[in-house]
Structure 1
């Protein structure tokens, strides 16, 4: 397969996981190349995602690295093949690469867990709320940039309406429900939309209300995207400079704990719907 100059996040992650297997085996790239019967440059190209790799080659590589974790090897083999075009590719020339990568991650995720303090989760936002939010961006966005971001965000939400959607769990701090983006009518529409989405069988919304005695984490928005095996989970954090993706085991464990603590401290789904309904009535 010919090399690519712009590997997708999925291709880069596959290469990174193969590098982790090599490093756990205590092999240098030169030693790995000798075991695999290729040159060192090819090993490097595979580990950066620039050279596609077949499922059979992934399994052979795992054997060469003495990896006996069959569920992980199967999951890595399923990530192989030629790059397939997704709807998000239409936005590559218009949006930051992190937003493209996030849409691809969500598409392949087996489950989604999010926790936010001052914003509504992206997959639960209305068009009006998203547009009002992007109108407040710093530095300001031009009108066509706002529209690209809005349409991209709404298209991301299709994963919650497709056949066999992934389980989606959201913890929203009460403060986010009181934010006035777009004015009263937009806020009420947004709150009613959350209520409607929370009625879906695969969507769970919990509110972390004011007055709870403890608050884990720093308040940074967290997206936890589950892979087919825990080693392939990914955390996405929103930052001023853009999306940040984490996949080291220690980082994954930390954010599993943070989200779990937030879920424990939050109201149950029914109580959360009651609180959202009261806030909507008072808006």
Structure 2
């Protein structure tokens, strides 16, 4: 069992799920430690993500907790298996930890759904468009950090370019398409890239036109990352103070319903491409 001064989002989530199983079983941390042959501090550190845990111990704890969901137990055990450092670790101590958590989450997701109203999804942005976005951040970012964030965002896009990418579904409002970050030339390049991405296998981009009228939600960007089993899904929200990750059952249900309703308002893929083309021609 290894320790870490910087527990990853994946390790923290594994610990949180083990805690949920323990609490549902009505077992205290002290009792769990006794069953495992350790002390309470060890269980607390595992559940906080400060200590790693082997697949064998995950299965042992799940058995003690009387978890009959074999699919969930297998998924939790699988979360212990990849001990390689992800590419995002290169940016630790350089960028906020929450950005590294997001990259790790996307990397392990089995499917991604997202909605954007005033901006375009980061996984679909061009380099010039993304750079202009970072230049608009308040308070202003120093030039070196802009470049770090830019290279990080471009590397995140590997999830839609790898050999077997997870299915990616994006709903984007027409307002986001008409934002001219960097001027007409950059905007035209960005929309052309969006069209090309919409043709990739596994990528679905649908547009909500102005004519659709009102839409549910506050308009904030939402990313829903599917886990190996529904219990391991996560919602990522972009907020003024940073990134928020949600995984409570009620929260997951709320955002699934929100994304479903937004997709009902959106044009189909062919109509969406036609709208993007018309906007390109107007630039």
Superposition TM-score tier, normalisation by shorter sequence: over 0.9
- Render the CA deviation track for 1:134-160: whole Å, top value 9, x for unaligned: 010100011001000110000111111
- Render the CA deviation track for 1:158-204: whole Å, top value 9, x for unaligned: 11111111100000011000111000000000000000000012100
User: In the TM superposition, what are the counterparts of 1:134-283 in structure 2 within 5 Å?
Assistant: 134-283=134-283
CA contact (8 A) 1:53 1:81 kept: no
In structure 2, the partner of 1:67 is: 67
Taking the aligned partners of 1:18 and 1:2, their CA distance within structure 2 comes to 17
Question: How big is the shift at 1:242?
Answer: 0.9
CA contact (8 A) 1:120 1:172 kept: yes
Q: Which region of structure 1 is more displaced relative to structure 2, 27-36 or 52-61?
A: 27-36
Taking the aligned partners of 2:26 and 2:209, their CA distance within structure 1 comes to 48
Taking the aligned partners of 1:94 and 1:69, their CA distance within structure 2 comes to 40
Superposed CA RMSD in Å reads: 1.0
User: In the TM superposition, what are the counterparts of 1:13-28 in structure 2 within 5 Å?
Assistant: 13-28=13-28
Taking the aligned partners of 2:280 and 2:147, their CA distance within structure 1 comes to 27
Question: How big is the shift at 1:37?
Answer: 2.5
TM-score (norm. length: structure 1): 0.98
Taking the aligned partners of 1:218 and 1:140, their CA distance within structure 2 comes to 25
Structure 1 unaligned runs (5+)?
A: none
What SS class does the counterpart of residue 43 from structure 1 fall into? helix
Taking the aligned partners of 2:81 and 2:42, their CA distance within structure 1 comes to 16
In structure 1, the partner of 2:103 is: 103
In structure 2, the partner of 1:118 is: 118
Taking the aligned partners of 2:154 and 2:270, their CA distance within structure 1 comes to 26
Taking the aligned partners of 2:2 and 2:191, their CA distance within structure 1 comes to 49
Question: How big is the shift at 1:33?
Answer: 1.9
What SS class does the counterpart of residue 211 from structure 1 fall into? helix
Question: How big is the shift at 1:81?
Answer: 4.3
Question: How big is the shift at 1:82?
Answer: 6.7
Taking the aligned partners of 1:257 and 1:32, their CA distance within structure 2 comes to 37
Taking the aligned partners of 2:95 and 2:267, their CA distance within structure 1 comes to 36
User: In the TM superposition, what are the counterparts of 1:2-17 in structure 2 within 5 Å?
Assistant: 2-17=2-17
In structure 1, the partner of 2:33 is: 33
Q: How many residues in Structure 1 have an aligned counterpart in Structure 2?
A: 283
Taking the aligned partners of 1:257 and 1:82, their CA distance within structure 2 comes to 32
- Render the CA deviation track for 1:14-67: whole Å, top value 9, x for unaligned: 001100111111222122222333211111011011111111110110010010
CA contact (8 A) 1:134 1:141 kept: yes
Taking the aligned partners of 1:213 and 1:147, their CA distance within structure 2 comes to 38
Deviant stretches of 4+, over 4 Å: none
Question: How big is the shift at 1:246?
Answer: 0.5
